[in-house]
Amino acid sequence: MSEQVAFQHIEKTSLIGKRIKKPDAPAKAMGKTRYINDMVLPQMLYGKILHAGRPHAEIISIDTSEAENLAGVHLVITAKDTPELRLGFVKDNAPLKDRVRCERDEVAAVAAESEAIAAAAIKLIKVDYKDLPGVFTVEDSQKKDAPVIQEHFPDNKSLKFEFKHGDLAEAEAKSDIILDDVFNVHLVTHCCMGTSCAIADFDHNGKLTIYSQTQYPYNYKMDLAPALGIDAGDIRVIQPPTGGSFGAKLDVYPFEPVAAILAQKTGRPVKILFDREEEFINSPTRQPASMHLRSGCTSDGILTFRAADVVMDNGAYTSWGATVPVIMMRTTSGHYRVPVVDFKGQAYYTNNSYAGSFRGYGNVQMTYATAQHMDMFAERLAKDHDLDPIEFRLKNAQKSGEVTPQKSYLRECALAECLTTAAEASDYVAKLNKYAAEREQKGRYKHGIGLASSIHNAGGAKIHKSDGCGTILKMDDYARVTVITGASEIGQGIDAVIGQIVAEELGVPPEHVTLVNNDSDLGPWDVGVHASRTTFIAGNGARRAAIKAKKQILAAASKQANVTAEELDLRGGYVVQDKDGAVVTRLDKMLRQMHFQPEPDVVMVSDYYEPNSEPEGRDHISDHSAAYSHAVHIAEVVVDTLTGEVKVEKVTMAQDVGRVINRMGLEAQMEGGLAFGLGFALSEEMIFEEGRLKNPNFRDYKVPTAPEMPDLDIHFIESDCEEGPYGAKGIAELPTIVIAPAIANAVYNATGIRFFNPPMTPEKVARAIWEKKNS
Amino acid sequence: MSEIEKYIAPEEVAEAVEALGTGGVTIVAGGTDLTPQINEGRCHYEPTLMNIQRIEELNRISLTDGEIRIGCLATVSEIWYNDIIIEHADILCQTANCFASDQIRNAATIGGNICNASPAGDMIIPLLVLGASVELASWKEGAMEIRREPLDKFFKGPGKTIRNENELLVAVIFDKPSADFIGQFRKSGPRPALEISTVTVGIGGDLKDGKLENVRVAFGAVGPTPLRGKATEVALEGQILTEDIISNAAAAAQKDASPIDDIRATTWYRNHLIAVFTEELLNNVC
Ligand SMILES: Cc1cc2nc3c(=O)[nH]c(=O)nc-3n(C[C@H](O)[C@H](O)[C@H](O)COP(=O)(O)OP(=O)(O)OC[C@H]3O[C@@H](n4cnc5c(N)ncnc54)[C@H](O)[C@@H]3O)c2cc1C
């Protein structure tokens, strides 16, 4: 074989931009994957939590004796057993509560031989509550004599954010048009197909192994430790396959320390797995917000200022939800060129559920407002000043090299190209005018077209001191590669991308790259899967590690072949001459020779990639991401003006992806991200009455189904990001962010009615149309 | 928590009916209502769980002597694809098309849909329009006794019917519609699939020389039971479907209905939709 190929020439080819299969897809499609939810450890007990089921109460007494006496019950715990243990962003939360602040509060927990026994035991716990008046709106929370929800926050004020830039009064004076509206974005939740689960297991040295769905395993240890009173170094996190996260697993939530405490006290592994109703009630939500937005612009169509006053319902505890203004203000100041900015954000404690991170993190909310204001300006300017709606946006679109008021440095900016590409592909302006003209004519079904865009960080977000990722790469005697990365796989497809990148550099098939990334005892540090960062950060890390390995191999080969390393390359499993691809030797043979030679060597390299971004900082003036990206969505809808049903028929998407890495993965992210935004825009809503969730099931919480997916016309704009791997940017959140205001703008185009308060449910739309007609 | 002590799966109708006569039996057909209701704690198992799915004769669909008979175990999918139904009672196919999803349609039985007696039970609406009756079988003195009751007298309230605990609903029957029969069904819901109805409307009658005769109208999810729209029927009987007649019928439909507010829809929206759908269906016909 080696004799035959000695005369072969191997051409240079590239995997970048190709469609790479996700390695775990067949097993998942065939139901063979064993998710954490399926896992059973020897001797394992089942944990179950008693939730308060009432929004605000004192706990007078808890009687656990009957539950303890039930056969098969090993342990019942309450807040008395877990004093001093805290968790949460401002440590205002505890694994088990001695007072009830919201419906989901964990009051007691049981460990038992079976799920059925644990469930029966929970029912035997007797709690005597004294209900207290509750606070269910931010308005009530601010009242003078409002009940205090968290002792340490007597005025019910939680986190606060501010950013100011330029002279607002002057900007207002210069404005010919000022828009002033309040947008209220509602409560939605992630609906991960795999419900929340944790399995905790202590060894005889007191070290905890926690099987978890977390998407940030390394900082997770730091957040979990104070909730257990143990050292973060004594926690090992294993991440079995998980059925979705989307931000829901970016914090520690009480069920996780509860599982660990039960395991610690019983000496047995303990598993807690939510059923669907528990999942709905006890998982984080997207942060709801009331956004009072004022925007100004001149009659030439130049934006003059944006002032946003954002009020948020913090719920009873503080997770990541209340921190979303960090991104909201980047949208306010950076979604188009905004010379003057005044942003305020304040969260208030209430007795409602609380929010966490959720795909789009603050930007889904803020873009719903800013992109509608852009559309309202565009309409006014077209009508009164004959300005083309795309021209208006192009005038305000930043160009490469511009810096926003918060110092986001837009090195490669393709907003203009996104706008023109999507507008041309969908024939936007012609349809916009046609449908607006048809609006007042007779007819039940009205067509509409709507454009929205936004900006998002696309090179990580440095909210911690480091936004880096570690990689260890080794090659074996058979030219198989093992990559140990800090990057977690939560379904997003980093497994395919890292295999592809490493294969690209080392000239091996992607299937020959094995990823190890589910054990914190093995993997090097990483921030976590969030902020659309993994392909950018971990991809760069994997590429740099692969380049180091390649150098080492070519150095060894150059000695053997008596040519310089620069004249050699790795292709198709061979060491070849770079200029003509002439085969020098087989790669596996080369690797074996490397450690069988007199000065033995093994290919094993490491890398820590730190993006060239700046920490967010307290004043929020920093280039906090290594790249920024834009997307434009144009939605085409049909509105049934009688039933109020909005059918999204087609969406044209143009997104600056920097460079396409795995085309298949990228398309899937566009589709999946859009589906999230579609549900948010049209049908999904958690309905709360006095702090209690009324629709904790898929019957009444309406995620979109397959027939609701519109046709997609996807355009990838390749701006070639200098810092990104092969030029790629992070991409995963923009598809969720942009679609809802695009639909809202399209519904406006069809009906003449603006929907400031999503979701645009049939009833809401029908009622608004009916009221307009009958007013 | 109630425990199932015994599981039985008879293969003959008589066997099932006899077992039912001894009391303490929960009937399961497709289980698509029963299972979630048990899980939610809305009902509990009796000591004996009787699976009726093995009784072959109960899923037959036949046409004899001008009478169409659908066995209680016929699934929504089987009804949708049945030649007799396609030819004579297309309104049932229209309804099946809006019913749940493929997986549920393959399991959900017509008997289960009727006996579950939800005001939002979809298949009940076209059956009311077709003037159907149900057959209830019970065990009396060593033999099976069958009574026939009109479907529009069957429902008493949400989940409540005139069926006694010892009775098995074995079939639904209706006269083969005339050649002039037209039937139309409309269901609301924001989603095209997997939607619990917020309002359903069914209208049927013989359309002869432009006039609608032998009109039957039925509404779902706008009252405690699926109901016949008597005022709407009066407004339409013997009429040519002019614009005025249609809007009279829509106004009558709102009078027939007594919807409530719940998390799926407000009274306003249900009242609004019932008029919209009534007009829409009548416009489809004329
Ligand atoms: C995801 C989902 C979607 C759904 N979508 C719809 C929808 O779009 N439209 C709709 O109308 N319904 C819908 N349903 C409800 C359900 O599928 C239907 O009502 C179905 O027809 C019930 O039939 P079954 O055979 O599954 O009944 P089962 O659950 O087996 O039985 C229902 C009840 O009837 C009793 N019973 C059953 N058969 C008989 C009999 N022959 N004699 C006496 N008693 C009997 C049982 O004891 C039980 O109390 C949906 C359900 C689910 C889970």
Q: Tens digit of pLDDT for each residue in A744-758? A: 999 999 999 999 999
Helix (H) or strand (E) holding A421: helix A415-426
Do the chains contact at B276 and A700, CB–CB below 8 Å? no
Residue with token string 């809808």: A637
How many angstroms separate the CA atoms of A535 and A533, rounded?
6
B120-162 pLDDT, tens digit per residue, is: 999 999 999 999 999 999 999 999 999 999 999 999 999 999 9
Confidence of residue B1 (pLDDT cuts 50, 70, 90): very low
pLDDT of residue B194: 75
For residues A477 and A493, state if they share a domain.
yes
- Which two three-digit tokens encode residue B96? 């099946």
- The tally of CA atoms less than 13 A away on the side-chain side of residue B18 is 11
How many angstroms separate the CA atoms of A752 and A766, rounded?
13
For residues A639 and A505, state if they share a domain.
no
Distance B165 CA to ligand 1 centre (A): 17
pLDDT of residue A420: 98
Residue having the nearest C-alpha atom to atom 47 of ligand 1: B27
ipTM over 0.85: yes
Domain boundary among A566, A589, A609: A609
Query: Which pairing describes strands A341-349 and A303-315: parallel, antiparallel, or unpaired?
Result: parallel
**Residue A557 belongs to domain spanning:** 3-33+468-609
pLDDT of A50 strictly over 50? yes
CA distances to A491, B10, B13, B125, B150 from B58, rounded to whole Å, are 45, 12, 8, 21, 19
For residues A472 and A455, state if they share a domain.
no
Percent of chain B with pLDDT over 70: 98
Instruction: Decide if A577 contacts A569 (C-beta within 8 A).
Output: yes
The predicted model gives A694-711 an average pLDDT of: 94
Which CATH number goes with the domain that contains A9?
3.30.365.10
CB A490: neighbour CB atoms within 10 A? Answer: 25
CA A348, A353, A358 angle in degrees (round to 5)?
90
A469-506 pLDDT, tens digit per residue, is: 999 999 999 999 999 999 999 999 999 999 999 999 99
For residues A508 and A453, state if they share a domain.
no
Domain tally, chain A: 2
Distance A116 CA to ligand 1 centre (A): 26
pLDDT of residue A350: 98
For residues A372 and A439, state if they share a domain.
yes
Sign, CA torsion A736/A738/A741/A745: negative
pLDDT of A2 strictly over 80? no
Domain boundary among A577, A592, A609: A609
In a domain, A198, yes or no: no
- In 3D space, the residue among A450, A453, A455, A454 whose CA is nearest the CA of residue A743 turns out to be A450
List the single residue in B191, B196, B268 with the smallest CB-CB distance to A683: B191
For residues A643 and A662, state if they share a domain.
yes
For residues A623 and A758, state if they share a domain.
yes
User: What is the CB < 6 Å shell around ligand 1?
Assistant: B 26-34, 36, 72, 99-100, 104, 107-109, 111-113, 115-116, 121-122, 168-169, 194
CA distances to A48, A131, A349, A689, B4 from A59, rounded to whole Å, are 19, 9, 20, 22, 37
pLDDT of residue B40: 85
CA distances to A187, B107, B277 from B284, rounded to whole Å, are 39, 31, 10
Residue with token string 């026994």: A117
The predicted model gives B24-45 an average pLDDT of: 94
With the CA atoms of A103, A105, A107 and A111 taken in that order, what torsion angle do they form, in degrees rounded to the nearest 10? 110
pLDDT of residue A758: 98
The predicted model gives A260-287 an average pLDDT of: 97
Residues of B in contact with A762 (CB under 8 A): 188, 190, 269
Confidence of residue B192 (pLDDT cuts 50, 70, 90): low
List the single residue in A120, A706, A767 with the smallest CB-CB distance to B1: A120
For residues A425 and A485, state if they share a domain.
no
Q: How many CB pairs under 8 A join A and B?
A: 45
Residues 6+ apart with CB under 8 A from B176: B63, B66, B67, B68, B88
pLDDT of residue B189: 66
The predicted model gives A595-622 an average pLDDT of: 95
Residue having the nearest C-alpha atom to atom 19 of ligand 1: B113
Question: Which residues 571-610 of A are in CB contact (within 8 Å) with B?
Answer: none
Confidence of residue A6 (pLDDT cuts 50, 70, 90): low
CA distances to A492, A515, B280 from A496, rounded to whole Å, are 9, 9, 51
Confidence of residue B196 (pLDDT cuts 50, 70, 90): confident
Alpha helices in A251-310 (DSSP H): 255-266, 276-282
Instruction: Give the distance from residue A135's alpha carbon to the nearest chain B alpha carbon, in angstroms.
Output: 22
For residues A564 and A678, state if they share a domain.
no
Confidence of residue A443 (pLDDT cuts 50, 70, 90): very high
In a domain, A752, yes or no: yes
Instruction: Give the distance from residue B284's alpha carbon to the nearest chain A alpha carbon, in angstroms.
Output: 14
For residues A725 and A757, state if they share a domain.
yes
Residue with token string 């509550």: A129
Q: Which residues pair with A648 in a beta bridge?
A: A637
- In 3D space, the residue among A587, A552, A606, A593 whose CA is nearest the CA of residue A479 turns out to be A587
Comparing alpha-carbon positions, the chain B residue that sits nearest to A693 is B263
- The tally of CA atoms less than 13 A away on the side-chain side of residue B209 is 1
Pocket test for ligand 1, best of B20, B25, B27 (most atoms within 8 A of CB): B27
Do the chains contact at B272 and A770, CB–CB below 8 Å? yes
A392-414 pLDDT, tens digit per residue, is: 999 999 999 999 999 999 999 99
Question: Which residues 625-664 of A are in CB contact (within 8 Å) with B?
Answer: 642-643, 645
In a domain, A549, yes or no: yes
Domain boundary among A589, A609, A629: A609
For residues A635 and A714, state if they share a domain.
yes
Q: 3-state DSSP call for residue A609?
A: strand
Helix axes A389-396, A428-438, angle to 10 degrees: 130
Do the chains contact at B273 and A120, CB–CB below 8 Å? no
Do the chains contact at B191 and A767, CB–CB below 8 Å? no
How many angstroms separate the CA atoms of B178 and B181, rounded?
5
pLDDT of A363 strictly over 70? yes
pLDDT of residue B286: 78
pTM of the model: 0.96
pLDDT of residue A599: 86
Residue with token string 């990541």: A320
For residues A721 and A759, state if they share a domain.
yes
The predicted model gives B259-281 an average pLDDT of: 94
How many angstroms separate the CA atoms of B48 and A750, rounded?
57
Query: Which pairing describes strands A711-717 and A646-656: parallel, antiparallel, or unpaired?
Result: parallel
CA A11, A14, A15 angle in degrees (round to 5)?
135
Mean pLDDT of chain A: 97
Residue with token string 């003078």: A144
Interface test with A, best of B32, B199, B267, B273 (most A CBs within 10 A): B273
Confidence of residue A7 (pLDDT cuts 50, 70, 90): low
Do the chains contact at A761 and B272, CB–CB below 8 Å? no
Instruction: Give the distance from residue B285's alpha carbon to the nearest chain A alpha carbon, in angstroms.
Output: 17
- The number of angstroms, rounded, from the C-alpha of A216 to the middle of its chain's C-alpha atoms is 12
How many angstroms separate the CA atoms of B155 and B169, rounded?
13
In a domain, A393, yes or no: yes
CA A152, A154, A160 angle in degrees (round to 5)?
85
Determine the residue type at A234. D
In a domain, A553, yes or no: yes
Q: Does A182 touch chain B (CB under 8 A)?
A: no
Confidence of residue B190 (pLDDT cuts 50, 70, 90): low
In a domain, A165, yes or no: no
Sign, CA torsion B262/B267/B268/B274: positive
In a domain, A161, yes or no: no
Do the chains contact at B269 and A766, CB–CB below 8 Å? yes
In a domain, A628, yes or no: yes
pLDDT of B84 strictly over 80? yes
Confidence of residue B2 (pLDDT cuts 50, 70, 90): low
A123-150 pLDDT, tens digit per residue, is: 999 999 999 999 999 999 999 999 999 9
